[in-house]
Structure 1
Amino acid sequence: MPGADRVHHAEDSWLDLPSAIAMPSLDTLHLTRAAGRRGTVQQLVTACPRLADLTLEACGGILTELSVRHARLRRLALRCYHDLSAVAADSSELRAFDYHGAVPRRGFLSMQRPPKISLCTLDFCGEEPTGPPELCFLQPFAGVERLHLTPARLGRGVVGHGAGAFSRG
């Protein structure tokens, strides 16, 4: 029976990595519906220092925080994450960000360098916030060329509370 550090759903694939793993040449990783021990996804991402394209989709509760410190990262996609509380990314080369999940809280996304993102897709699902959401999560995307925003779960009052979301300063 899985312990507290394991999450598994019948339709998921169990991800069981060796204690030491290195994938120094891998530049694209798409991981969908994986189950395993907490920290397994982070261990895999860390083992791939040349990642340029990272897509993580519906990996359940095994990923609650993510740190991507790869200077080559050009595309980051996080889909169907409702338990993800924090993402830290090296954004020096990041050009595309794709997020499908719950409305992020303050401090959800931190980027070490000013992003040069040209395409951003934000699609919010899950429970609608009980009050007006804080739109500070939009700040890193103030300079994007193309923004695809699906605000269905942002609730009422977004226009009045989001007026300063894209201000620089």
Structure 2
Amino acid sequence: MLDVSAGGVSMPSLETVSLKRIMATEEAVLQLVSGCSCLADLTLEQCPSMEELVVTSPRLESFSIFCCHNTRHVVLHTELLRTLRYRDGLPGKNFFTIADCTKVLAMTIDICQSFVRKSAPTVTPIMKLITRCTNLTFLHLHLSMAYHSGTFMRALRRLPHLRQLALKGIIKDDQTVRSISTLLRNTPGLDMLSLSLLRPYSPKPYYLGINSSIIQTFI
């Protein structure tokens, strides 16, 4: 349990903080983060109390936020950010406010929801974030973004320094294959393409006498 005293926190020498499954109040988390004036690497994972996060450390170089489903806005007051990682559902408009996106060199965006039947405006915020990081050299995305390959390609064309692209997910249909092929034709500057293919879920007919497809409907 995170217990922050009323007087706040002062840890000026601490450079790396990783908070996972913290059930403390948003105020307590913010006090902890703000008390690390030299913070260079911050990771938040499954922190349900966080709705708006403000990181004031001017030395922050790496920021990761994973599965903080209630977070609506993240403000990073740093001009040194090099690495940005995000894993959750599609973020809303202006989810990230970053002092200087042009310093970001590596980005991982892992959207944990299907893009099928998603309209183009719903993916616009994440595409705008990518295109604002004009000096990206490494980008890791989920293959599900292939369902909006046109928007995706327009974003990649604005990244002249992109050299490494990593795609992770399931190739569900021919559309995904065609989208990857189109991507390769339109990114001649790539030095490396990494494909991490996941095995589709294939339920067994019965497990302990129960149809597993029925179980899935309740998960």
Same fold (TM over 0.5): yes
Q: Does the residue aligned with 1:35 lie in a helix, a strand or coil?
A: coil
Residue 127 of structure 1 deviates from its aligned partner by 6.3
**Structure 2 residue aligned with 1:159:** 149
Name the amino acid aligned to 2:150. Answer: G
Question: Are the structure 2 counterparts of residues 124 and 80 from structure 1 closer, same or farther at C-alpha, using a change threshold of 3 Å?
Answer: same
The number of residue pairs the alignment matches comes to: 152
The alignment status of 1:77 with 2:77, answered yes or no, reads no
Listed one character per residue, the Cα deviations across residues 17-69 of structure 1 (whole Å, up to 9, x for unaligned) are 11122111111101111101232211211111100111111111x11111112
Q: Does the residue aligned with 1:84 lie in a helix, a strand or coil?
A: coil
Separation in structure 2 between the aligned mates of residue 104 and residue 141 of structure 1, nearest angstrom: 17
Unmatched tracts of structure 2, length 5 or more: 160-219
**Structure 2 residue aligned with 1:25:** 13
Separation in structure 2 between the aligned mates of residue 139 and residue 58 of structure 1, nearest angstrom: 27
Separation in structure 1 between the aligned mates of residue 15 and residue 47 of structure 2, nearest angstrom: 20
Separation in structure 1 between the aligned mates of residue 132 and residue 51 of structure 2, nearest angstrom: 21
The alignment status of 1:52 with 2:46, answered yes or no, reads no
Conservation of the 8 A alpha-carbon contact between 1:131 and 1:155: no
* Aligned sequence identity (%): 29
Q: TM-score, normalised by structure 1?
A: 0.79
Stretch deviating more after TM superposition (158-167 or 65-74): 158-167
Listed one character per residue, the Cα deviations across residues 106-156 of structure 1 (whole Å, up to 9, x for unaligned) are 21111112431121111111465742221223233332100011153x583
Higher strand content, 1 or 2: 1
Higher helix content, 1 or 2: 2
Higher RCO structure (Cα 8 Å, ≥6 apart): 1
Conservation of the 8 A alpha-carbon contact between 1:106 and 1:137: no
Name the amino acid aligned to 2:155. Answer: A
Separation in structure 1 between the aligned mates of residue 151 and residue 101 of structure 2, nearest angstrom: 24
Name the amino acid aligned to 1:44. Answer: L
Separation in structure 2 between the aligned mates of residue 119 and residue 97 of structure 1, nearest angstrom: 6
Conservation of the 8 A alpha-carbon contact between 2:81 and 2:101: no
Conservation of the 8 A alpha-carbon contact between 2:107 and 2:140: yes
Name the amino acid aligned to 2:94. Answer: G
Unmatched tracts of structure 1, length 5 or more: 1-13
Q: Does the residue aligned with 2:131 lie in a helix, a strand or coil?
A: helix
The alignment status of 1:147 with 2:139, answered yes or no, reads yes
